Amino acid sequence: MSFVLYVDSLFASPWAMSVFVALTEKGVPFTVTPLDLAAGQQHAGAYAAHALTARVPALADTEAGFTLTESTAITEYLDERFPAPASQALYPHDLHQRARARQLQAWLRTDLQALRTERDTETLFLGKASAPLTPAGQAAAAKLLHVAGQLVHGPNLFGDWSIADVDLSIMLMRLVRNGDPVPQALGAYAALHWDRPAVRQWLAQPRPA
């Protein structure tokens, strides 16, 4: 069994982080191959020939001769490839909770554009400075906090840990680490998941100064 995870060379992609954490939680051996996105390595022939959308993250399941891009497709694939209870479940068992987790993941990846731009993850992983949020950024932050407030009622969103907890904590930490106001309960929730061992392994990856 051999898996290769392709990530951005800055280790700043939140979606690459999500897949890295998923693989680590599953206990699946894998190697990491960084790509220099600024240099266009994701569009190089050998990579683009196998990574259908020529983006990162991508996971190569070399045993199966199969490469998959798009982070939620990858985490769903891993949960089916290595089902619980033999390995850590990435999604809730309950049908409705699982659908909610996927809804949350899709929303975090497609909405809140102003927040994702003004509090990009380089402010988390590379110490990049940030300016005060614009009105659009403030509106996106308020929307995030409203949704998170409806979902967070304990240490995990759905009773047991899920990969959706990682994705929501990343988005909340964009505010927390930049000193933007976050309700105490949501800040504590995000900090709890930021301290999870698999997340700490991602945070410990070597990055440019």
Place of tokens 């440019």: 208
58-71, pLDDT tens digit by residue? 999 988 899 999 99
How far are the Cα atoms of 40, 88, 184, 195 from residue 78, in angstroms, in the given order? 27, 10, 33, 23
6-61, pLDDT tens digit by residue? 999 999 999 999 999 999 999 999 999 999 999 999 998 889 999 999 999 999 99
**Range in 1-10, 139-148, 170-179 with the lowest mean pLDDT:** 1-10
Domains in the chain, please, with CATH? 3-88 (3.40.30.10), 95-196 (1.20.1050.10)
Contact 60, 50 (CB under 8 A): yes
Question: What gap in Å lies between CA 72 and CA 61, rounded to an integer?
Answer: 16
**Number of other residues whose CB lies within 10 A of the CB of residue 58:** 26
Which helix (H) or strand (E) is 206 found in, with range? none
Least Cα distance to 204 among 196, 36, 170 occurs for 196
